Amino acid sequence: MSGQPKIKHLAIITLDPERLANFYEKVFGMTRLTRPSDRPKVSKAVYMTDGYLTLALLENKAEGKAPGLNHFGFQIEDQEETAARLTEFNLQATARPADRPYAETRATDPDGNNIDLAVRGFGA
């Protein structure tokens, strides 16, 4: 791979995305991203940036998940090359649903942590 993959987004699930957005704005100076018109709004999610990293504050829809880190995302250059590297660990990437335009595939690390993989990226 000619370019090093870079972590470009983190996603936190919370019962109150607006409350967390206010916190990250006031304490760390993050700004809200305007959602492009071709990307549907996902629940009450708020997307923020520090100019490099996108922070997704996702509504916890009472799916039995505790609030906290939901996933992180790597900006990559090549889906096929990354998929080949995943197979070295007996893992694979699967396609993201059509309503998740910010990442083409998702994988996990060996401990089961979710990782979005995007060539085109999202936000900042």
- Chain position carrying tokens 């009472």: 62
Q: What pLDDT shows up at residue 1? A: 42
* Ramachandran angles phi, psi of 24, nearest 5°: -65, -30
3-state helix, strand, coil in the chain (%, to 5): 15, 30, 50
State the CATH number of the domain containing residue 73: 3.10.180.10
Spell out, as residue ranges, where the chain has pLDDT lower than 50. Answer: 1, 124
Q: What pLDDT shows up at residue 49? A: 93
123 in a domain, yes or no? no
Q: What pLDDT shows up at residue 39? A: 56
Q: How far apart are CA 6 and CA 53, in angstroms?
A: 10
Give me the number of domains the chain comprises. 1
Q: How far apart are CA 39 and CA 33, in angstroms?
A: 12
124 in a domain, yes or no? no
